Amino acid sequence: MKEAMFYEKHEGLEVKCHLCPHNCTIKDGKTGICQVRENIGGTLFSLNYGKISSLHLDPVEKKPLQRFMPGTFTLSMGSFGCNMRCPWCQNYTISKGKPSTQDMTPREIVEIALENDYPSISYTYNEPTVYYEFMLDTAKLAREKGIKNIMVTNGFINEGPLRELLKYIDAMNIDLKTYNDKNYKKFCGADLESVKKVIEISSRACHVEITALMVTGVNDNIHELLQMIKWVASINAEIPFHLSRYYPMYKYFEPETDRDRIFEAESMAREYLKYVYTGNI
């Protein structure tokens, strides 16, 4: 375990975590919503520091990043835990469960990339915000060695931790779950404005691509998608935008996204954005 960053101590051994907008107040012996930051005797610890559940080599396009180092491979790593609760999660075994893990150090991760001439490391699979300290330590070392850093994220992180991290992150793919704040809260336990703020800040600091998973009954409303697309275009019409098809998974079993609706959304997006892609078709 490693002491967590971005928290404050309160009276009676309580602590308040400021890593993400949940801003959890955590009693002694308890964890925050992410289930991987625990208050032990009035000190907040990261329970997943160096606990690697997944380590693979992926095409960078799989992240998905279409306009950042295309044609290259990235060393992808994940741990466990998440600060959202999306019922259609594809990686629920590591985001909501406690998978088997391998203990690794940031230096070991970076050495694998160096030894195999991999040009980038991706923090992905589960939400990397909740293994913030390990990601930050690895990203710092990778930057020193000339390796690029990629974060695949739900974008639910507070501004202070985000700005510190952006000193070392070269590219991000940010999931924009829906453009309906009520649905964000209902299905994901998060809020739209916090994610929009992260997109705005990050797009001025590094390469950003956005993924909209068109979940049936949640994020497949064409009118709301148009609002989302127009907002992305208002930030920068050259932000690559991915429309991804949903399939039933975990605790959500509505039918997979209608193909015609995906192509309708793609056509609509191309009127406002320069780079539009579809996935999982």
Do 207 and 93 lie in a common domain?
yes
Task: Say if residue 124 is in the same domain as residue 224.
Answer: yes
Residues 37 and 159 in one domain: no
CATH at 225: 3.20.20.70
Is-contact 116 85, C-beta < 8 A?
no
Pick from 28, 124, 10: nearest CA to 77 = 124
Strand blocks (E) in the chain:
2-3, 7-9, 15-17, 25-26, 37-40, 43-46, 51-52, 54-59, 73-78, 102-103, 120-123, 148-153, 171-175, 207-214, 241-245, 276-279
Residue 91 and residue 65 share a domain = yes
Same domain assignment for residues 219 and 185: yes
pLDDT digits (tens, 9 = 90+) for 22-68: 999 999 999 999 999 999 999 999 999 999 999 999 999 999 999 99
pLDDT of residue 59: 98
Instruction: Mark whether 104 and 235 lie in a shared domain.
Output: yes
pLDDT score, position 1: 87
Amino acid at 230: K
Statement to judge: residues 195 and 95 lie in one domain:
yes
Do 26 and 61 belong together in one domain? no
Looking at the fold, whether 55 and 36 belong to one and the same domain comes out as: no
pLDDT one-digit tens code per residue, 69-128: 999 999 999 999 999 999 999 999 999 999 999 999 999 999 999 999 999 999 999 999
Q: Are residues 135 and 15 in the same domain?
A: no
What is the rounded CA–CA span in Å between residue 207 and residue 57? 21
Domain of 38, in residue numbers: 2-46
Q: How many domains does the chain have?
A: 2
- This model's pTM is above 0.85: yes
